[in-house]
Amino acid sequence: MTATMSWPKSVTICEVGPRDGLQMEKTILSTDQKVELIERMVDAGAKVLEIGSFVHPKAVPQMADTDEVVKRLKKHDGVEYRGLTMNLRGVQRALDCGLSKVKLTASASRTHSMKNLNRTPEEVVKDFAECASFALSKGMEVSGAISTAFGCPFEGTVPLSQAESLVRCFADIGVTEVSMSDTSGLATPKQVFEYMTQLRAKFPAMRWTLHLHNTRGLSAANIVAGMQAGVTMFDASFGGLGGCPFAPGASGNVATEDLIYMFDQDKIATGLDMAKVMAVAATACGWLGREADSCQMKVKSCQEAAAAQKSA
Protein backbone atom coordinates (compact mmCIF):
# COMPACT_ATOMS: atom_id res chain seq x y z
CA MET A 1 0.00 0.00 0.00
CA THR A 2 1.45 3.36 -1.05
CA ALA A 3 1.31 6.16 1.52
CA THR A 4 0.18 9.53 0.19
CA MET A 5 0.46 13.03 1.63
CA SER A 6 -1.56 16.09 0.71
CA TRP A 7 0.47 19.01 -0.64
CA PRO A 8 -0.81 22.47 -1.59
CA LYS A 9 -0.47 23.62 -5.18
CA SER A 10 0.60 27.07 -4.04
CA VAL A 11 1.62 28.95 -0.90
CA THR A 12 1.93 32.60 0.11
CA ILE A 13 5.26 33.84 1.42
CA CYS A 14 4.82 36.99 3.50
CA GLU A 15 7.99 39.09 3.30
CA VAL A 16 8.91 40.40 6.76
CA GLY A 17 12.47 41.48 6.01
CA PRO A 18 11.69 45.22 6.12
CA ARG A 19 10.42 44.85 9.70
CA ASP A 20 11.67 41.72 11.46
CA GLY A 21 14.74 41.51 9.27
CA LEU A 22 16.01 44.97 10.14
CA GLN A 23 14.83 45.53 13.71
CA MET A 24 17.94 44.08 15.41
CA GLU A 25 20.65 45.31 13.05
CA LYS A 26 23.19 47.75 14.48
CA THR A 27 23.34 49.54 11.15
CA ILE A 28 20.14 51.51 10.64
CA LEU A 29 19.16 51.81 7.00
CA SER A 30 17.88 55.07 5.57
CA THR A 31 14.26 55.56 4.60
CA ASP A 32 15.25 55.52 0.92
CA GLN A 33 17.06 52.22 1.37
CA LYS A 34 14.06 50.62 3.09
CA VAL A 35 11.70 51.83 0.38
CA GLU A 36 14.01 50.45 -2.30
CA LEU A 37 14.13 47.01 -0.66
CA ILE A 38 10.33 46.90 -0.38
CA GLU A 39 9.74 48.04 -3.96
CA ARG A 40 12.25 45.51 -5.28
CA MET A 41 10.54 42.72 -3.34
CA VAL A 42 7.24 43.76 -4.92
CA ASP A 43 8.95 43.63 -8.32
CA ALA A 44 10.16 40.13 -7.39
CA GLY A 45 6.54 39.04 -6.92
CA ALA A 46 5.86 39.60 -3.20
CA LYS A 47 2.14 40.14 -2.55
CA VAL A 48 2.21 40.46 1.25
CA LEU A 49 4.87 42.54 3.00
CA GLU A 50 5.40 43.62 6.60
CA ILE A 51 6.97 47.01 6.02
CA GLY A 52 7.79 48.09 9.57
CA SER A 53 6.45 48.59 13.07
CA PHE A 54 4.81 51.46 14.91
CA VAL A 55 6.54 51.27 18.26
CA HIS A 56 8.38 53.81 20.39
CA PRO A 57 11.63 54.82 18.62
CA LYS A 58 13.59 54.44 21.85
CA ALA A 59 12.55 50.79 22.06
CA VAL A 60 13.32 49.92 18.43
CA PRO A 61 15.21 52.81 16.78
CA GLN A 62 15.56 50.82 13.56
CA MET A 63 11.82 51.32 12.98
CA ALA A 64 11.62 55.01 13.87
CA ASP A 65 10.85 56.08 10.28
CA THR A 66 8.13 53.54 9.46
CA ASP A 67 5.57 56.36 9.01
CA GLU A 68 7.73 57.97 6.34
CA VAL A 69 8.43 54.63 4.65
CA VAL A 70 4.70 54.04 4.22
CA LYS A 71 4.15 57.52 2.78
CA ARG A 72 6.83 56.95 0.14
CA LEU A 73 5.69 53.52 -0.99
CA LYS A 74 3.89 53.16 -4.29
CA LYS A 75 0.47 51.52 -4.28
CA HIS A 76 0.34 48.30 -6.27
CA ASP A 77 -2.81 46.38 -7.15
CA GLY A 78 -2.99 43.08 -5.30
CA VAL A 79 -0.14 43.96 -2.92
CA GLU A 80 -0.78 44.08 0.82
CA TYR A 81 1.33 46.19 3.14
CA ARG A 82 0.98 45.68 6.88
CA GLY A 83 2.62 47.15 9.96
CA LEU A 84 3.13 45.71 13.42
CA THR A 85 1.76 47.63 16.37
CA MET A 86 1.36 47.08 20.09
CA ASN A 87 -1.25 49.64 21.09
CA LEU A 88 -3.85 52.21 20.01
CA ARG A 89 -1.22 54.88 19.48
CA GLY A 90 0.50 52.60 16.97
CA VAL A 91 -2.77 51.96 15.13
CA GLN A 92 -3.40 55.71 14.93
CA ARG A 93 0.07 56.26 13.48
CA ALA A 94 -0.55 53.56 10.87
CA LEU A 95 -3.83 55.20 9.90
CA ASP A 96 -2.32 58.69 9.73
CA CYS A 97 0.41 57.65 7.28
CA GLY A 98 -2.00 55.75 5.03
CA LEU A 99 -1.49 52.10 5.95
CA SER A 100 -4.58 49.91 5.57
CA LYS A 101 -3.60 46.87 7.68
CA VAL A 102 -2.11 46.45 11.14
CA LYS A 103 -0.95 43.41 13.08
CA LEU A 104 -1.56 43.32 16.83
CA THR A 105 0.92 41.22 18.76
CA ALA A 106 0.71 39.44 22.10
CA SER A 107 2.96 36.84 23.66
CA ALA A 108 1.78 33.44 24.85
CA SER A 109 4.55 33.53 27.45
CA ARG A 110 4.01 35.69 30.53
CA THR A 111 7.75 36.23 31.08
CA HIS A 112 8.39 37.20 27.47
CA SER A 113 5.41 39.55 27.54
CA MET A 114 6.77 41.36 30.59
CA LYS A 115 10.24 41.70 29.07
CA ASN A 116 8.85 42.75 25.68
CA LEU A 117 6.00 45.07 26.67
CA ASN A 118 6.23 45.28 30.47
CA ARG A 119 2.66 43.97 30.63
CA THR A 120 1.06 40.57 31.13
CA PRO A 121 -0.61 38.82 28.18
CA GLU A 122 -3.97 39.52 29.79
CA GLU A 123 -3.24 43.24 29.97
CA VAL A 124 -2.08 43.29 26.36
CA VAL A 125 -5.17 41.48 25.11
CA LYS A 126 -7.45 43.77 27.12
CA ASP A 127 -6.18 46.70 25.06
CA PHE A 128 -6.68 44.89 21.77
CA ALA A 129 -10.48 45.28 21.77
CA GLU A 130 -10.15 49.05 21.60
CA CYS A 131 -7.39 48.82 18.98
CA ALA A 132 -9.37 46.47 16.75
CA SER A 133 -12.58 48.44 17.15
CA PHE A 134 -10.86 51.68 16.21
CA ALA A 135 -9.03 50.16 13.22
CA LEU A 136 -12.10 48.40 11.84
CA SER A 137 -14.19 51.55 12.24
CA LYS A 138 -11.66 53.34 10.03
CA GLY A 139 -11.81 50.67 7.34
CA MET A 140 -8.46 49.11 8.24
CA GLU A 141 -7.79 45.38 8.27
CA VAL A 142 -6.60 43.81 11.51
CA SER A 143 -4.56 40.66 11.97
CA GLY A 144 -3.11 39.13 15.11
CA ALA A 145 0.17 37.52 16.03
CA ILE A 146 1.09 35.31 18.95
CA SER A 147 4.80 35.39 19.74
CA THR A 148 6.49 32.55 21.64
CA ALA A 149 3.51 30.45 20.51
CA PHE A 150 5.46 27.19 20.68
CA GLY A 151 8.30 27.90 23.08
CA CYS A 152 9.84 30.62 25.22
CA PRO A 153 13.53 31.21 26.03
CA PHE A 154 12.54 31.85 29.64
CA GLU A 155 9.80 29.25 30.18
CA GLY A 156 10.56 26.47 27.70
CA THR A 157 7.73 24.75 25.83
CA VAL A 158 4.55 26.81 25.79
CA PRO A 159 1.41 24.67 26.21
CA LEU A 160 -1.09 24.85 23.38
CA SER A 161 -3.73 26.01 25.86
CA GLN A 162 -1.88 29.31 26.41
CA ALA A 163 -1.74 30.10 22.69
CA GLU A 164 -5.31 28.89 22.22
CA SER A 165 -6.63 31.33 24.84
CA LEU A 166 -5.08 34.25 22.94
CA VAL A 167 -6.49 32.99 19.62
CA ARG A 168 -9.92 32.98 21.23
CA CYS A 169 -9.39 36.55 22.42
CA PHE A 170 -8.47 37.61 18.90
CA ALA A 171 -11.53 35.85 17.49
CA ASP A 172 -13.74 37.55 20.08
CA ILE A 173 -12.70 41.02 18.91
CA GLY A 174 -13.23 40.25 15.23
CA VAL A 175 -9.73 39.25 14.12
CA THR A 176 -9.87 36.54 11.45
CA GLU A 177 -6.13 36.10 10.71
CA VAL A 178 -3.52 34.99 13.23
CA SER A 179 0.20 34.40 12.89
CA MET A 180 1.71 31.74 15.12
CA SER A 181 5.27 32.87 15.82
CA ASP A 182 8.16 30.66 16.91
CA THR A 183 10.10 33.62 18.26
CA SER A 184 13.14 31.72 19.53
CA GLY A 185 13.14 28.81 17.10
CA LEU A 186 12.16 26.25 19.74
CA ALA A 187 9.35 24.56 17.81
CA THR A 188 9.64 21.03 16.41
CA PRO A 189 7.78 19.48 13.44
CA LYS A 190 5.61 17.18 15.57
CA GLN A 191 4.64 20.08 17.81
CA VAL A 192 3.84 22.37 14.88
CA PHE A 193 1.72 19.70 13.21
CA GLU A 194 -0.21 18.94 16.40
CA TYR A 195 -0.75 22.58 17.41
CA MET A 196 -1.89 23.71 13.97
CA THR A 197 -4.09 20.68 13.37
CA GLN A 198 -5.92 21.28 16.64
CA LEU A 199 -6.15 25.05 16.21
CA ARG A 200 -7.52 24.76 12.68
CA ALA A 201 -10.16 22.33 13.93
CA LYS A 202 -11.19 24.61 16.81
CA PHE A 203 -11.14 27.84 14.79
CA PRO A 204 -12.19 26.84 11.25
CA ALA A 205 -12.88 30.44 10.16
CA MET A 206 -9.42 31.68 11.14
CA ARG A 207 -6.70 32.21 8.53
CA TRP A 208 -3.28 31.07 9.73
CA THR A 209 0.31 32.14 9.13
CA LEU A 210 3.43 30.51 10.52
CA HIS A 211 6.28 32.81 11.50
CA LEU A 212 9.28 30.58 12.14
CA HIS A 213 12.78 31.54 13.21
CA ASN A 214 15.62 29.29 12.14
CA THR A 215 17.60 29.46 15.39
CA ARG A 216 18.06 25.69 15.58
CA GLY A 217 17.84 24.93 11.87
CA LEU A 218 14.32 23.47 12.04
CA SER A 219 12.29 26.10 10.23
CA ALA A 220 12.05 24.24 6.90
CA ALA A 221 11.00 21.03 8.63
CA ASN A 222 8.47 22.97 10.68
CA ILE A 223 7.06 24.56 7.53
CA VAL A 224 6.57 21.14 5.96
CA ALA A 225 4.77 20.07 9.15
CA GLY A 226 2.66 23.20 8.91
CA MET A 227 1.71 22.42 5.33
CA GLN A 228 0.69 18.92 6.35
CA ALA A 229 -1.58 20.53 8.95
CA GLY A 230 -3.16 22.70 6.25
CA VAL A 231 -1.26 26.00 6.64
CA THR A 232 -0.30 27.73 3.38
CA MET A 233 0.97 31.14 4.53
CA PHE A 234 4.50 31.57 5.85
CA ASP A 235 6.53 34.59 6.95
CA ALA A 236 10.10 34.80 5.70
CA SER A 237 12.87 37.37 5.43
CA PHE A 238 15.28 38.11 2.58
CA GLY A 239 18.75 36.90 3.50
CA GLY A 240 17.41 35.14 6.58
CA LEU A 241 17.72 38.41 8.50
CA GLY A 242 15.85 39.03 11.71
CA GLY A 243 15.38 38.34 15.38
CA CYS A 244 13.62 39.64 18.46
CA PRO A 245 15.36 42.25 20.66
CA PHE A 246 13.46 40.96 23.67
CA ALA A 247 14.13 37.22 23.29
CA PRO A 248 17.72 36.12 24.03
CA GLY A 249 19.21 33.90 21.34
CA ALA A 250 16.45 34.57 18.81
CA SER A 251 18.23 34.53 15.47
CA GLY A 252 16.89 35.26 12.01
CA ASN A 253 13.78 34.19 10.21
CA VAL A 254 13.74 31.45 7.65
CA ALA A 255 15.24 32.94 4.48
CA THR A 256 12.78 33.84 1.73
CA GLU A 257 15.11 32.49 -0.94
CA ASP A 258 15.50 29.16 0.89
CA LEU A 259 11.74 28.72 0.93
CA ILE A 260 11.47 29.61 -2.75
CA TYR A 261 14.03 26.94 -3.57
CA MET A 262 12.25 24.28 -1.53
CA PHE A 263 8.83 25.09 -2.96
CA ASP A 264 10.12 25.44 -6.53
CA GLN A 265 11.76 22.01 -6.36
CA ASP A 266 8.48 20.49 -5.20
CA LYS A 267 6.44 22.34 -7.85
CA ILE A 268 4.57 24.40 -5.24
CA ALA A 269 3.96 27.87 -6.64
CA THR A 270 5.06 30.99 -4.73
CA GLY A 271 4.89 33.64 -7.45
CA LEU A 272 8.34 34.86 -6.42
CA ASP A 273 11.41 35.26 -8.64
CA MET A 274 14.39 33.58 -6.97
CA ALA A 275 17.08 35.64 -8.75
CA LYS A 276 15.42 38.94 -7.88
CA VAL A 277 14.91 37.96 -4.23
CA MET A 278 18.54 36.90 -3.91
CA ALA A 279 19.60 40.23 -5.41
CA VAL A 280 17.53 42.02 -2.75
CA ALA A 281 19.15 39.89 -0.04
CA ALA A 282 22.62 40.70 -1.39
CA THR A 283 21.85 44.42 -1.44
CA ALA A 284 20.41 44.44 2.08
CA CYS A 285 23.34 42.50 3.52
CA GLY A 286 25.79 44.75 1.68
CA TRP A 287 24.23 47.84 3.20
CA LEU A 288 24.22 46.22 6.63
CA GLY A 289 27.83 45.07 6.30
CA ARG A 290 27.09 41.45 7.10
CA GLU A 291 26.69 38.06 5.45
CA ALA A 292 23.29 36.58 4.70
CA ASP A 293 22.05 33.79 6.94
CA SER A 294 20.74 31.90 3.94
CA CYS A 295 21.68 28.53 2.45
CA GLN A 296 20.99 29.72 -1.09
CA MET A 297 23.24 32.75 -0.70
CA LYS A 298 26.01 30.55 0.67
CA VAL A 299 25.61 28.15 -2.25
CA LYS A 300 25.81 31.07 -4.66
CA SER A 301 28.99 32.34 -3.00
CA CYS A 302 30.60 28.90 -3.26
CA GLN A 303 29.61 28.61 -6.92
CA GLU A 304 31.00 32.05 -7.70
CA ALA A 305 34.24 31.24 -5.89
CA ALA A 306 34.59 27.97 -7.82
CA ALA A 307 33.91 29.73 -11.11
CA ALA A 308 36.47 32.42 -10.33
CA GLN A 309 39.09 29.81 -9.42
CA LYS A 310 38.37 27.89 -12.62
CA SER A 311 38.78 30.97 -14.82
CA ALA A 312 41.95 32.14 -13.02
Residue type, 93: R
In the three-class reduction of DSSP (H, G, I as helix; E, B as strand; rest coil), residue 84 is classed as strand
For residue 250, give the amino acid letter. A
Let me know: does 264 contact 270? Beta carbons within 8 Å. Answer: yes
Catalytic entry in 14, 131, 169, 244: 244
Cβ-defined contacts of 168-172 (< 8 Å, 24+): 168/203, 169/106, 169/125, 169/128, 170/104, 170/128, 170/144, 171/203, 171/205, 171/206, 172/129
For this structure, is 244 an active site residue? yes
Half-sphere exposure of 200 (CA within 13 A, CB side): 17
What burial class does residue 235 get, using C-beta atoms within 10 Å of its C-beta: 0-12 exposed, 13-18 middle, 19+ buried?
buried
Q: Which residues are catalytic?
A: 244
